[in-house]
Each structure stands twice: as structure tokens, then as C-alpha cells.
Structure 1
Amino acid sequence: MPALISRMGKRLRRLIERPASIELTRYEALLPAIGELEPELEKLTDAELTERAAKLRREAEFGDDQLIEVCALGREAARRALDERAFDVQLLGTMGLLTGHVVQMETGEGKTLAGALAAAGYALQGKSVHVISVNDYLARRDAEWMGPVYRLLGVSVGWVEPSLTREERRESYGREVTYGAVSEIGFDVLRDRLVSRVEDLVQPEPEVAIIDEADSVLVDEARVPLVMAGSVDAAVADVEVANVVRRLRLGLHYETDSDGRNAWLTTAGASVVEKALGGIELYGESGAERLAAVNVALHAHALLTRDVDYLVRDGKVQLINASRGRVAELQRWPDGLQAAVEAKEQLPATDRGEILDSITVQALLARYPQVAGMTGTAVAVAEQLREFYRLEVAVIPPNKPNVRVDEPDRIFASPSHKLRAIEAEIRKVHETGRPILVGTQDVAESEELAEKLAKVDLPCVVLNARNDAEEAEIIAEAGKYGAVTVSTQMAGRGTDIRLGGADGKDRERVAELGGLHVIGTARYPSSRLDGQLRGRSGRQGDPGSAVFFASLNDDLVLSYAPDVPDGIQADDESGEITDPAAQRQINHAQRVAEGVHLEIHRNTWRYTRLIEHQRTELLKHRDKLLRTPLAAEKLKEAAEKRYEELEEQLGEEGLVQACREIMLYHLDQLWSDHLAFLTDVRESIHLRALARETPLDEFHRVAIPEFRKIIPTIEERAVKSFEEAEFTEKGLDLAASGVRRPSSTWTYLVHDSPFDSNFEQTLNQVRNLLRRKKS
């Protein structure tokens, strides 16, 4: 009876504290059996341990007995290879991953080892495993760090990174476990979709994905498309328009909406632009082309801020990933906007690309039959994980209780009052010798704060997109006695902040003082991001504390809850507000922001789901053309006489490959054209709402018939190219018949619909013009 009451109490507590998490009782019941195997496994030699792991490969099923064996073998392998004995909570995490869940483990609880043991467990079932991380550094670090554990278990491991050749990538993917950044694995998928020979493929069929920092990958970046582009020509920005727009002033010449997604000209602004461009009529037929250039230049001028949205480094515009506060490698905006920002910064325009294919992170992960993940903050997005991925969350308790003190928010009337209070807080804590980590919202804020601290003799180390290459090294030392580290958000995810610094020699001294003190300079648009910053302190039962400073004039409040209730009073001297209504307002703004981002995610997926279905169908056809003589059969059937002529000159094998290249070229070209068509449709689809039609239904109505034309058109164009292709001394000259692939390709990321369509922006401007004329 007492045991029953205890179990019911635990379940009730779990429902209250973690309502979206699964029950751990099944896994907890296996821990004693894992512990009982420990003495037996310790007596084995390394070779015997490897052999025992190999026996799992011969098991027909993978149930509780096999979970016990994998965890026991993994614990022993880690003890020998890394001198780390896995805690029971790490084994709970391993079992959660092996049963297809997202496990929530707090910072410093050993997710990397839990993920490695789970990956080995899947590999011992004969499955190919991709361990997907947020960046290339973590992928390589974890593969090398966990390599000795995998070797003891008889599992091969590799990693992919941008510097690898095609052959090296193929070799890495040939290992049983492959580590890679989500973007790098996605780009390899896109490259494989353009090959014309089977031997050029680098990736095997996807089977299992284990996602590190799962909330960042599955939620923050889910709708970010990875793009493969082929070179067309140099982009051209309208420099004259850029120079005119640079002189425009907010409120007089243009206005923006509250969430900073749109900017439009006022009547006065339109008049100034028309006059400066030689008296054109922007909203007439003669000005249509310049209007598009004005729209994009105005967006670059009004809505994109240097050192917040992008950096200028080494003569190039580099985008900043909003969810990480780091430079987004290879990321760019759609070409018109990219060129406009380059013109704004008076830089030469980069090459313009024709999009050959793209895939969202969400669609990339949907390719895997089995997906699991690990992160420190999953419960906050449990509903999204269930809705978009059918994944449940398993909350793993910490090995040692979390004793971090989370202080209540300190709220101020204005950002300037808030900044003075942050400076005072840093001085007060720094005088005790406690290490401090300050989490800022963007690069500009981190550098502004660092300058202010330097002026008052409070030196600090700054970690932001400008020096992200040193991220791990900087963050590893953030726990040193007296250290002050100012960082943009998500500092060093995947790297522990150890008290006393990387070597931990001052650990006891720092712990006695209270551990790491975390300061947030504003609340983030998501409570989950707040939790991630707080989680940098208090690892493995360490002491620590965290506090957020906020203002009723922070961007979060102004964008999502600007109507602050009357009667909230601030202290005359400090500007601090203690009225509970201020806290409620900030919490409300954050909930609204979370709702807006969720709706954007849902809406994006509603459109991309159809595109992904069409892509899957076309890829099945492409795979047949790539792996079988189907292309040759089709062309022989349509142009038998020409086929027989060329067969004598090329031989059967050469002709089959030539037919394959012709048909694959047209398939890839038509898919590229289809993507461009769908982009145009989607950008203008909101105008259908004016006619009381449902935009999504209309999108489907237009997109489906167009897709059905692709395969017949491939064959028509392929026959034409086949008949026109000329035979030269070097063989069949496909280029002469128009079968010419881009001279170079590149990959990049782009935020899905980073600004509303030209149609919508034009509509806003016309409405604004009409409204002003009426008044």
C-alpha cells in the first residue's frame, strides 16, 4: 500500500510539474538489472567486451533485455574509454532515446554520452544513425570525444563538415554512426538530388536521427529552408534607388508596422522618391519595375539593422542567426534583398543564383523513419514536438538536485534605467569575485554594454557573432573567479561552464562565493530561451543564481503587448517598477510572441507539406531514372531510329548514360521552375483572400495541376534534346542541345518569407496612399 501511494504521488507530481512528459517507471525498473551486470562486465577484457556487444547484432528483437545489455555495456565502455561511469539518469536518457523520445536533461547532466550510447544501441540493431547537432564544431568534437566508446562497442563512427571532399563524405556516411550539423547533412541531401550517376551519391537511405539541442533544431530552425543554387550571373542592385531610400526618414517618408515585418512609403515619401527618380509614377505602369526595387531597398534600410540582423566582415554581409546570436554560415536572404543590403552597405553585389532545390529542416527530419532527440528545454515545446513530429518528451531528473536561485525579474520604466541597474548589479557581484555571465539580445547590445563596463573599469570578455570561432574556449573559462562574460543568446550550448574555469582549480573557492551568476538583459520572445540562459548556471548541483532585467519599453513589449495598463508607477530615482501588473504585462507579451511564432510555423508547414509530397513523388521517379535504364527505354520508344544511329557510335552503355543525363537534366530543370512558380503563387496568394477565397485551398488548386504536367513535359523535352544532340569526336555534345548544368553550385540558408511579398507591400502602400488622399 505505501508503495502504491508513493507511485501515485510521483505521477501526480509529474503531471503538475511536467504535464507534457511521459512516464519513466518502465525505464527506472530496469536500472537494478543494469547495475547487477556491472561486476560481470568489469572482468571482461576489451576484446571480450566488444564481442559481447557484437552478440546484440544477432538478436531478432530489441526489448527490455536488450536495453539492459546496451546500457550495461555502454556504461562499462565509457568507464574504460573516458574514465566516466554513466550515472543512472544518463542511462534513463539513453533508454528514452532508444525508444524514440525527446529526452530533457539539464545542463551538465551528460547528454553527449547518453546520446552516444543510444546511437551505439541503434547501430547494434543494424541501423544507420545520424547524430545531428547545431554546428560543425560540436559534430566533430563529439565524434572524436566519443570515438573510443564506440570502438570498444565495435561500432564505427565518422563525421561530416564543410571541408570534406565527396569521397570523404561518402566514407563518413558509410560508418554506422555519423555526426554532422543539421545544415551540412541537409546540404548533402540536396547535392545527392542532383547527381546523374549512382556512384556519385554520398548518403545511404536515412534510418535513425538523434538530434542534439532538439528544441533548437526541431522548433527554432524547423521552417528554415536549406537551398541549393546554381550560378546564373552577378546580381544587380539598383544603386540609384538605394541612395534615394537612404535619405528617407521614419514617420515622415515611410512607416513600419508594430512587429517590424513591413515598411511602406507615405504620400510624402512616394513623392520624394518619384521626384528623385526622374518624375516617374511609382504606382503607374511606368514605375512598376522601380517600385519592386524601392520596396526591397526600403526593407533593407528600415527593417534590417547592422550588428543586429547582420554583420559586415571581410567586405561581405554576413547574416546573424536570430535563434543563436551567431553568424549564420552560408546564410543569405533572397537575392533581391541580399543585393539591396549590399548596396546599403556600399559593397559589391554577390552572384545571383537560380534555386535548383530546397528543403526545410522539418522536411529533412521527416525523411527518417525513427527520430529521437535531447535538450535541456523540451517541455516548453512539447505540444509542438507532438504536433509536428509525433514525438513525446521524457523528462530525466538531475543526478544532483538543482540548487540554483532564480531571482524574480527586475523591471524598469525605460531601457536607460535598466542599463544603469545592470551595470550596478555587475559591479556589486563582481566585487565578491563571483563569475558573471551576461546574456544580451544581439551583437550591438553586447558591444554597447562591454564599452560601458570598460569605461567604469569592469573589463569583460565578449562572445558574439564577431568572434564565434572562439566560442567554446571563451565559454569554458566563463566560470573562473572574477570572470565577466558578455554574450549574445545561447552562449556555448554544448559546452559546460565549469566553476573555477576549464581546469576547475578554483572550483571550491567559486562555489563558496555562490557559483556563477547569470544576468539576462531582457526577456526573450520565448520562456524556453529564458530557461536556456538560466540553465548555464547550476550544473550538476553546483550553486548559482540567475536574474532577468526587463523594461516596459523593451522590443518584446513594444512589439507584442504595447498597451501597458495605466497607473503603473516607477521609482523616481532608479526607475524600478515593483507593481505586479508590470510583470504580468511582460509575461503576456512573451506568451503573445510564442503564439505568433507557433502560428508562423504552422502556416509555413501547411504550404510546404504539399511541396514535400510533390518532391517525394518526383524523387521516386528520379531514382528510377538514376538506377535503371528507364530513360533509354523511353527515348528509344519515342525516337527509335535516332537511338539506333547513336547506339552504333556510343555503344549501349554510353548511350544509356547519355539518355539518363538528358532526362535527369530536364527533370531537375522543371522541378526548379516549379519551385519558382510555387514561390510566386505563394507570395501573391494572400490577394485571393480579398476575393473571399481560402489562400491555402487556392494554393493547392493551382499547384497540383502544374505538378502533374512535369513528368510528361520531361519526356517531351528529353526527346527534343535527344534528337538535336550532336555527335562529335569527344562523344555526344549535350550542351549544344541545351543540356547544360550550372558551372558552379552553392548552398545557403534563407528564412522562409523574411518579409511579406511584394504584392502585400504594394497593397499596403496603395491602401496608405488612398487613405491619405481621402483625408
Structure 2
Amino acid sequence: MTRVGRWIRRFLEKPGSVDLAPFQRIAAEAAGREAEAGRRDELRPAVVDPAWVGTADFCAVMREAARRALGQRPYDVQLAGMLALLEGHVAQMATGEGKTLVGAMAAAGYALRGARVHVVSVNDYLARRDAEWMGPLYETLGLTAGWVAETSTPEERRKAYACDVTYAAVSELGFDVLRDRLCTDPAELVVPAPEVALVDEADSVLVDEARVPLVLAGAADAGTALPEMAALVRRLSRGYHYTIDEEGRAVFLTPKGIDTVEKALGVDIYEHPGVVTQVNLALHAHTLLTRDVDYIVRDGKVELVNTSRGRVAALQRWPDGLQAAVEAKEHLQASETGEILDSITVQGLVHRYPRVCGMTGTAVAVGEQLREFYDLSVVVVPPNRPCVRVDEPDRIFATAEDKEGALLDEIETRHATGQPILVGTLDVAESERLAEALAARGLSATVLNAKNDAEEAQIIARAGRRWALTVSTQMAGRGTDIRLGAGGPGEEEPGDEEEVASLGGLYVIGTGRHDSSRLDDQLRGRAGRQGDPGGSVFFVSGQDPLLTVYAPDQSLPPADADGAVRKPEAHALVAHAQRVAEGVNLEIHRNTWRYTRLLERQRAEVLEQRDRVLRGDTGARALESACPERYRELCETAGEEVVERAARQIVLYHLDQCWTEHLGFLSDLREGIHLRALGRLNPLDEFNREAVPAYRAMLDEVERRSRETFEKADVTRDLADQGLKRPTATWTYLVQDNPFGSEWDRVFNRVAGALRGRKR
């Protein structure tokens, strides 16, 4: 399709507007071929025609394979979802509709076409669970499936990636790609060439976490944040020594605060940039990052909380200085830091795949972003049974106190009937605070949050039982399936499902609106699975962060005597604030991608060049051309094979080293590029204008250093002893986007704050 044709298609289409009818027709035709498929001894044809995959006969075979292997007969809507994935779309399917089986059947279809499939999950647990659960299905079709986890050894990873279908958390997949970047022997490579990525929880991976950088680091150093800085900022008072901006994203010292800090440290802090950085990082950690909201402390370590999922963000950390400042704040030993050898965003990782598809319960809301950033369209697959859940209008209150009182009353009233209740909170601290308030009323709630995530399966298994009262963060919003009347293993009570259904099914209560409507929808979706009865409602107050941050200049209409605000304008204001929040996050995503798009192109070129050097004699030929006399001399004394191996190591070392330096340069460039706006210049244009020649200069530097080393090196000795030593240890982690913007943004805020203070 031409570029103009694609533009016209995008203009005419709407998110979720891909026609489902063709997929439904094929799925319906499969019923007539089911009996024939059931008579086959071997379901997989001896020779698979790629065109067969996606036909009605193929659907009948997949249905029979699922019946034999798993004891499940896929519904027509599941077959339609599978066909949508095989066409390269994102399928939106409601909770409880069997997305895991849909993804497995689609992965098998791609594998039968001869493609290598990576099923991308959000965490290790789901990757292993789904690979083992769906393993018999693949085996029935003559396919192999494996999974990769954080604890997998390099050999276990190679074996998993050698399978037809590989399940892996997005972070592990990215880390393996980064680690392959340091290999100097083709036999050490782990990840094969990317072909198909099938993304589970596609909106979470492709949108919420798209700009999260995965990092490979080496050459460890001790943390730089000083405990005395943390002790110093604890003595400062808000409003007197420092102020926080309206959005809660920046903090700056007042003139009095500057004087106090300078006296305490005995220096003029603006003459010591390093001291300025440490003071402000300590202040940010102290005032803007809250324990049990942004992070928890467990086993002597700071663990970040993923706000979109309510879970511990495994292996995730803030940029080194801020991470160390939080550790100093909590009186913990600073974790290791070091030089970033390479990094890649989740979005850049996914863009490596020629074919991408995915599935989730909430895709339409981000349909434009999926199309803009990945050229993906959304297919809305209807549920097998109509959803009868009753979603009540928000209950809005003037103050947080009024809201909490009404919330506790509602929970108490509902619980008295025996109806199971799931209360979704916005953070860990709120979940624990609410559980204490319920206990004061004599109600015992089971709490599920990032602190006890190991108990998640058992807690969720019982959440649909009569009298169940569960308080959870967003952990209960994704990847969970709450069955009415069910309990833990061996605890099922016959007839309990009908009894719970007669009480109205699971009732979901949200203690506040999230920044994203998708997270609200995910929480609602815990109730009403597969046509079950259920209900949901959200409690909101005018003091909730959503309204104070994203609609600070607007107020709710007057409240009634009970503190409730019942005028329609209140609902409009809440919806407006949520749209503003979603718009802010979308613009951050767009801006991040504008800056990283060029970097990803440069990375692709570097990796292509590196692969040619690694797998062939490109390095040797380049050095032979640059240093013909030296090359002949070394071949005569050491042999051509030794020289070629040394040339490969030399070029790879300098290519990796120069790329690391280039990344550092681009990071520094982006930190200060916003200053160009003061000269009426476009920061993005200026960034690209400097990044492109810097990249060319980097390639020239690789050639220069390689030639210089080759002229001096003794190729018969270990090159590591001659200045080509690689890091003795490397480690991987994810960096959460710095919540305070660039360093220059922070400087401007501090200066502006100081000037405002002095004008008073």
C-alpha cells in the first residue's frame, strides 16, 4: 500500500473499526468441519501450506487440538480473536473470555507458517504459567514451546529461544537482546533474529511501558548520594525552606532554604554544581517520592511500585542519583551504579519485530496510539455471553473525609448481605489505611498489594466467595480471573456460585479514578465475567489528586448536606480531569519517541555492522585495507586465522566502547537541549542536528581507534591485557522515567522559585 493510501486508510478508520465479520464467518464455517477434524489421527498436515493457516479447516483443527490437549472447546469468538491476531491486529477481549488460549492458538498458527514466535508477557510468572499451561496444545500440533525467566541460565535461554514458540516477560526479552550486544563469539548469542511478537496485555506493554528504558550497565561504582544530605533536608520545612509546584512534580528551595543549606554545608552551593545536584536529589526524594505509594521497602531494599499494575516493578529503579537519594532517605546502603553500556526502550524493542500483534481487555481507548506508534489496528471481539454487569455512576463528594465515610458505609452495608466485594485502591498506603478503618468497624478485609504479591493467587481465588471482602491495589486489575463462589484448591463449595449470583455477584468499588480510564475499566472488568452478574462503582472527591493536579482551577458544584455532589457538572469535571491526564501522558510518550526514534535507527545500523563483524571477516578486511603492511606482517608471523580473530576482537571492542560514549553524549545533549528554546529554536530539530554528525563522527572514531590498536597490538597475547578489557561484571535493570523532567527543567524551577521568593 502506498504512503498516501495508508494515510487515507488512517483518516477513514476509527479505533476498533476493523471489520470482525470476515473472521466470524470463517469461525462459523469451522463447525461444519469439526467432525472431520475429530477423525484425524494427526492434526498437523505433513506439509503445511501457509495459506491453510487462517481457513475454516484450520480453525476446526485448532478447536480439536484444544479439546484433545486441554479439554477445552474454543468458542466461535475465541476463533475470531485468533484470526484477528493472525492478521496482525490487536484483539480486544473482555475478562474471562480465554485470551490465553486465543494467544496460544494464534502463536501456533504463526509457527505452522514457519515463523518463530515470541509471546511477550508482563512478568515471569505469567510467562511460565502460560507456557506450561498451553504446552500440551503445542505438543499436539507437533510444535515446541519454552519460557524464559529471570533465573534462567544462558543455556536454558538458548534452548527456550530455539523452540517454535517462546514465552518471556518483556524485560527479560530486552535484557537478552542487550546482553547479546556484548558477545564476541557467535556461539555466545542467545536471541535469534526477531520474527513475530504476540503481546499479551498489549496496552500495558505497548503504551504504558513503551518509553521505559531497559539498561545494561557495567564498571560498578559506589552510590554518590550522601546520608548527611538526607539528614539535612529532613530538617527543612515546606513553605519556609522549600515549595512544591502545583502538579507536585518539582520542588525548589526558597531564598531562606538556600541560606539554611549553605550555612549547614559551609559552602556557596551554586559554586559547587555537584553539591547542588546532591541537595536537590535528596530534596526530591524526601518531598516528592512517598513510601508505600511510589515505592516500598522490603528486605532492606527500595522496590518501585508500577502504578499501572499496583505491583512491584521488578528490576526497576530510578536514575542512579535519585535511586541513591531514596536509599539514603530510608537509611539503606546505596545500590551499585555504573556506566551504561547500552539501553533500549520497550517501544524500540518491539519495533525490531517485522510482525506484531496483541490482545488485551482495553485496547480501543489507546487505539490511536497503537496506530500512531506501531501501525496496529484494533479488533473488538464481543464476549461469548453478553455482559450484564451494572456499572453505576460515580459517587462524588466534596472532601476526602466525606468520601471515606460514605465508602465505609457502602462496604459495611454490602458486606452485611454476604455479597463478595473487591475494593480497588490507588496505592499500597491507601489499601492498608482502608483495611485499618474497616477493622475499626469490625470488618476483616484481606489485603492484596505489592507487599504480599506472593499470596496473590490464593487471595484472588477466594475473592468471589460469599462474605469475601478484598482490598487490593491495581494488582487485581490485570491478569486475574475471579470466579463466583470459588475458593482455593479443594475449597470449592457446591452450589455456592448460584448463591453468590443471587446476591448480585461480585461488587467492585474503586476508591478513586485513575489517571487512565483504561485502568478503571480493567478494575471494573473483574466483575461480570462470562455473563456473570456483578456491579461496580467509583467514589471520587474534590481533593483527589486527579482533580487537584489536572483540574486545579476548577471546582466541583456545591455539595448536599451529606457531602455528596450530585449535579451533572461534577461528573463532567471528573471526566475532563481524566482526559487531561491521559493527554499529558500521551504527549510525554510522543515526545520521548521523537527523541528516541533517531537513536533507535542509529542502534539498528550499529547492530547490523556489529553482526557483520561478529559473524564474518568484515573487521579483518577493514583493517587489512587500512593497514596493509601491518596485516601482511602479522599474518606471516602469527598466521591469518589468529590475525582475523584479533581483528574481530579489536573492532568489536572499539565499536562497543564508542557506542557507549555516543549514548552518554546523546543523554547529556538531551538534558540541556531545552535551553535552545530560549533562542527561539526547536529543541527536537537541534537535537537531531547535533546527533546525526555525532553518529558519523563516532563511526570514524571506531575506525581510527581500531587502526591505532591494530598497529600496536601483539595479536599473540591476550588483548584484554593491552587496554581492551571489558567490564568484569554487568547487570541489567529498568529505569523509571525521571518524574521531575530534565536537569535543566529542575534548574529553571529552582531559579524561578528563588526569584519569586526574593521579589516578595
1:635 CA displacement? 2.5
**Is 1:331 matched with 2:316?**
yes
Q: Write the distance in 2 (CA, Å) between the matches of 1:624 and 1:213.
A: 35
**Is 1:576 matched with 2:564?**
yes
1:639 CA displacement? 3.8
1:492 CA displacement? 5.8
Native 8 Å contact 1:674 1:707 kept in 2: yes
Native 8 Å contact 2:448 2:475 kept in 1: no
SS in 1 for 2:252: strand
Partner of 2:149: 161
Residue of 714, 736, 739 corresponding to 2:702: 714
**The 10-residue stretch of structure 1 (232-241 or 259-268) with the greater mean CA deviation from structure 2:** 232-241
Partner of 1:37: 33
SS in 2 for 1:230: strand
Closer/same/farther in 2, CA of residues 489 and 709 from structure 1, 3 Å limit: same
Q: Write the distance in 2 (CA, Å) between the matches of 1:761 and 1:485.
A: 41
1:235 CA displacement? 1.6
Partner of 1:700: 688
Partner of 1:655: 643
**The 10-residue stretch of structure 1 (637-646 or 686-695) with the greater mean CA deviation from structure 2:** 637-646
Partner of 1:677: 665
1:464 CA displacement? 0.8
Partner of 2:123: 135
Residue of 105, 113, 119 corresponding to 2:101: 113
SS in 2 for 1:30: helix
**Is 1:304 matched with 2:298?**
no
SS in 2 for 1:264: strand
1:640 CA displacement? 4.3
1:153 CA displacement? 1.1
Partner of 1:372: 357
Partner of 1:10: none
Residue of 594, 605, 608 corresponding to 1:620: 608
1:766 CA displacement? 1.7
Matched AA of 2:465? K
Q: Which runs of 5+ in 1 are unaligned?
A: 1-16
Partner of 1:319: 304
Q: Write the distance in 2 (CA, Å) between the matches of 1:232 and 1:720.
A: 28
Native 8 Å contact 1:103 1:375 kept in 2: yes
SS in 2 for 1:498: coil
1:466 CA displacement? 0.6
1:627 CA displacement? 0.9
Q: How does 1:40-59 map to 2 (within 5 A)?
A: 40-45=36-41, 48-50=42-44, 52=45, 54-55=46-47, 57=48, 59=49
Q: How does 1:276-295 map to 2 (within 5 A)?
A: 276-278=264-266, 280-283=267-270, 286-295=271-280
Partner of 1:725: 713
Partner of 2:509: 519
Q: Write the distance in 1 (CA, Å) between the matches of 2:290 and 2:530.
A: 39
Q: Write the distance in 1 (CA, Å) between the matches of 2:749 and 2:296.
A: 29
Partner of 2:170: 182
1:521 CA displacement? 0.4
1:141 CA displacement? 0.5
Matched AA of 1:570? A
**The 10-residue stretch of structure 1 (647-656 or 715-724) with the greater mean CA deviation from structure 2:** 647-656
Partner of 2:408: 423
Partner of 1:99: 87
**Is 1:558 matched with 2:585?**
no
Closer/same/farther in 2, CA of residues 646 and 754 from structure 1, 3 Å limit: farther
SS in 1 for 2:316: coil
Q: Which runs of 5+ in 2 are unaligned?
A: 1-12
Q: Write the distance in 1 (CA, Å) between the matches of 2:236 and 2:59.
A: 64
| Cα displacement string for residues 309-350 of structure 1 (whole angstroms, at most 9, x for unaligned residues) | 111111111111121111111111111111111111111111
Partner of 1:148: 136
Q: Write the distance in 1 (CA, Å) between the matches of 2:153 and 2:276.
A: 44
Q: Write the distance in 1 (CA, Å) between the matches of 2:26 and 2:190.
A: 39
State the identity as a percent: 60
| Cα displacement string for residues 467-523 of structure 1 (whole angstroms, at most 9, x for unaligned residues) | 112222321221111111111114162231111124653211111111101010000
Partner of 1:432: 417
Native 8 Å contact 1:658 1:732 kept in 2: no
| Cα displacement string for residues 2-40 of structure 1 (whole angstroms, at most 9, x for unaligned residues) | xxxxxxxxxxxxxxx986321111112213321111111
SS in 1 for 2:447: strand
SS in 2 for 1:329: coil
**Is 1:28 matched with 2:24?**
yes
Closer/same/farther in 2, CA of residues 656 and 401 from structure 1, 3 Å limit: same
Q: How does 1:583-622 map to 2 (within 5 A)?
A: 583-622=571-610
Q: Write the distance in 2 (CA, Å) between the matches of 1:41 and 1:625.
A: 50
Partner of 1:230: 218
Q: How does 1:627-646 map to 2 (within 5 A)?
A: 627-644=615-632, 646=634
1:645 CA displacement? 5.2
Q: Write the distance in 1 (CA, Å) between the matches of 2:555 and 2:308.
A: 30
Aligned residues: 745
Native 8 Å contact 1:476 1:495 kept in 2: no
Matched AA of 1:282? I
**Is 1:221 matched with 2:201?**
no
Q: How does 1:360-509 map to 2 (within 5 A)?
A: 360-491=345-476, 493-502=478-487, 504-505=492-493, 506-509=496-499
Native 8 Å contact 2:28 2:76 kept in 1: no
RMSD (Å) for aligned C-alpha atoms = 1.9
1:367 CA displacement? 0.8
SS in 2 for 1:107: coil
Partner of 1:341: 326
**The 10-residue stretch of structure 1 (385-394 or 578-587) with the greater mean CA deviation from structure 2:** 578-587
SS in 1 for 2:665: helix
Matched AA of 2:153? T
| Cα displacement string for residues 61-119 of structure 1 (whole angstroms, at most 9, x for unaligned residues) | 357xx432321111101111111100000001001001011001000001111111111
**Is 1:541 matched with 2:528?**
no
Q: Write the distance in 2 (CA, Å) between the matches of 1:315 and 1:541.
A: 45
Q: Write the distance in 2 (CA, Å) between the matches of 1:18 and 1:474.
A: 39
Q: Write the distance in 2 (CA, Å) between the matches of 1:188 and 1:714.
A: 25
**The 10-residue stretch of structure 1 (421-430 or 514-523) with the greater mean CA deviation from structure 2:** 421-430
**The 10-residue stretch of structure 1 (339-348 or 754-763) with the greater mean CA deviation from structure 2:** 754-763
Q: Write the distance in 1 (CA, Å) between the matches of 2:347 and 2:680.
A: 31
1:297 CA displacement? 1.2
Q: TM-score, normalised by structure 1?
A: 0.93
Q: How does 1:2-81 map to 2 (within 5 A)?
A: 20-45=16-41, 48-50=42-44, 52=45, 54-55=46-47, 57=48, 59=49, 61=51, 66-81=54-69
Matched AA of 1:149? L
Q: Write the distance in 2 (CA, Å) between the matches of 1:646 and 1:19.
A: 63
Q: Write the distance in 1 (CA, Å) between the matches of 2:738 and 2:58.
A: 45
Native 8 Å contact 1:560 1:592 kept in 2: yes
Matched AA of 2:518? R
Q: Write the distance in 1 (CA, Å) between the matches of 2:193 and 2:149.
A: 19
Q: Write the distance in 2 (CA, Å) between the matches of 1:152 and 1:735.
A: 50
Native 8 Å contact 2:24 2:80 kept in 1: yes
Q: Write the distance in 1 (CA, Å) between the matches of 2:449 and 2:362.
A: 22
Q: Write the distance in 2 (CA, Å) between the matches of 1:389 and 1:543.
A: 36
1:722 CA displacement? 2.8
Native 8 Å contact 2:464 2:486 kept in 1: yes
SS in 2 for 1:556: helix
SS in 2 for 1:491: helix
Q: TM-score, normalised by structure 2?
A: 0.95
